[in-house]
Every structure is written in structure tokens, then in C-alpha cells.
Amino acid sequence: MNHSVLIDEAPFSQQIAEGPESVKAYWIKSDDDMRLRVAHWQTDGNPKGTVFLFQGRTENLEKYGLAVGELHNAGYAAFGVDWRGQGLSDRIAEDPMVGHVDRYLDYQNDVAAMLKAAGNLDLPKPWYLFGHSLGACIGLRALSDGLPMSACAFSAPLWDINLSAFQRIAAWPLTWVAQLIGRGHTYAPGTRPESYVLNTPFEENRLTRDPGMYRYYQKISESLVEQQIGGPSMAWLFKTLGETRSLSKLPSPEIPCVTFCGAEDSIVAISAVEDRMARWPRGKFELIPNARHDVLYEIPDVRDGVFAEMLELFARTG
């Protein structure tokens, strides 16, 4: 077994998350000495396997409480991580509100630490992956590097950012120069050091059409202020443009996959998702009408359909 990375029990706000009460959170250490928080939701009886949750940018583990409830109802345990720079994991930049990463390989250090912790906890197999947005970007790289999953599901994968042609042309030199002159930690243009859901009314939000689910987001953000982050840094934007370009040139992993995008998603580039899934031999792509960025927290008929299809894939490949 890998050497232990579990340090101690970590805090987790179960009542705010509204998920299963069986959750236990732990501090773990990555090989580059970052302290990360992971959470394990056990099931009663014999689980059908464990779903690894790779969260999106700005998210935290508590936000997955309701989603894990759905997984539990279907018989699956779950295991998630707060990526470095968000949630309760170590922040990187001096400004704790900026979404920053020094290099994308660092996220793979988080994945490696998570895998060691999974081994220490002897998480039940088979293992499955669910990745949302940034988590799908990190997940695709990890799968390409041999992450041992039986099947995967992605929502709104950040396989490219939704930018206009002008924005894309401007972004590369702007973000490169910002790093060159020591301004890589500053906020990308048009972004702020504020929680998106706490500063965007429901009517203007880009995440969901379900007011109850948006209120759930807001309640978590209001209750766990210290876990929030705002806009991305110049360096994060530059590194993300580079990583997504690199990923686009890789072959698709040899495991079954289902991917969902809301047709009204204005955050990720849907064309990049369509391109990837068109060349994923064991993959299926669902473009969902009348849905925005976060399909797991959309209106009931959308989220019920997403969970049903994801769980059917996991059952079929277990």
C-alpha cells in the first residue's frame, strides 16, 4: 500500500451540505507539501463501488452534499477533494480570494494524494469518476495518465473556455505578460474578488435555472465564507488555455464515458466538448436543452435524467 497521507480528521459542515450523515473528512498532504481536504461518504451495507468527485473551480466539498445523496440512494460511496487554492485546502496566492494555480501539473499532485488516501481508506471498488467543469479538465489528464477508473461521467467539461475570437487573441499575450512582470496573481479582466453566487442575482446567474438549487449554492456560500473564492488569476487563465490546448491533442481514454452539457452553458466552449466526444470510442455526449452550466443542480427533470444516465453507465460497467 502507498505510504499514508492521512494526517487527521478535518472539519466538514454536514448540516449545511444537507448530504448523508456518514461523511468523514480528512487532511492529507500532497508530495509537494500542500495540505488538502478530502471527504469520504460511506454507505450502509455493501456499496456498489466508489464515485470520485472532481469538483469545479470555486466549489467546495459541502456543495456536493445533495449530489452524494443521490449516489447513496443508488448504492454508491463517494470520495471528493478540495483542489489546492479552494475550499479548505491550502491557498496559493497571497490574496485568498483569487483562483490561482502555478501550473496544471500541480492539480495532478492533488489527484495522486487523493489516490493514496483512497488506498489508505480501502475505498470499495469498482471506482468511478465524476468531474464537473475544471474537475473534468483535471480528470481527462489524470485518465490519460492512467487513473484507475472503470467508467467516467463529466458535466460541462472545461476542455476549452468560452471566449470570443477577440478575447482569445487578446488573452494569450495579456496573461503571458502579466506573469512576466510579476502580476500573475492579479485577477483576470472582468473578474473580481467576490463569490459569484453571493453577488449575482438568480435572474442573471449562469449556473442553473432552478431557484431552489441556486439558493442552496448561496446558503453554502453564506455559511462557509472562508471557503469561497472569486475570479481566476491571470496565471490561472494562461495555464488553463495552455492545458486545454494540450489536452485537445491527446487521444481519448479507453474507458466508457458519458458527458453532459447544458445547451445554455456560456462558461465552457461546447464545441471543444463536441470535438472530444466525437472521438471518444466508448463515449456518449448529451447536449441538454434549456440547461445551463451545472446540470447536477438544474431543474428536476434535467438533474434526474443526468443522474439516471450516469448511474446506468456505472451499473453497466461495474
Q: What is the pLDDT of residues 82-132, one digit of tens each?
A: 999 999 999 999 999 999 999 999 999 999 999 999 999 999 999 999 999
CATH of the domain at 207: 3.40.50.1820
Cell numbers describing residue 171: 488573452
Inside any domain, residue 70: yes
Confidence of residue 167 (pLDDT cuts 50, 70, 90): confident
Does residue 37 register a pLDDT over 90? Answer: yes
Checking if the pLDDT of 5 tops 80, the result is no
Q: What are phi and psi of 256, to 5 degrees?
A: -65, 145
The residue-averaged pLDDT of 76-84 equals: 98
Please tell me the predicted confidence (pLDDT) of residue 164. Answer: 84
In a domain, 307, yes or no: yes
Phi, psi of 81 (to 5 degrees): -140, 145
Query: In which band, very low, low, confident or very high, does the pLDDT at 1 lie, cut at 50, 70 and 90?
Result: very low
Q: Is position 1 within any domain?
A: no
Question: Domain residues for 50?
Answer: 6-317
pLDDT of residue 2: 45
Structural domain contains residue 299:
yes
Q: Which residues make Cβ contacts (< 8 Å) with residue 99, sequence separation at least 6?
A: 57, 58, 85, 86, 229, 230, 231, 232, 233, 236
Model confidence band, residue 172 (pLDDT cutoffs 50, 70, 90): confident
pLDDT of residue 92: 92
Q: How far apart are CA 229 and CA 104, in angstroms?
A: 18
Does the residue 53 lie in any domain?
yes
Q: Is residue 210 part of a domain?
A: yes
208 within some domain: yes
DSSP assignment string, 188-216: PTT--SS-TTTSS-GGG-SS-S-HHHHHH
Cα–Cα distance between 88 and 92 in angstroms, integer? 12
Total domains present in the chain: 1
Q: Which pLDDT score is estimated for 3? A: 54
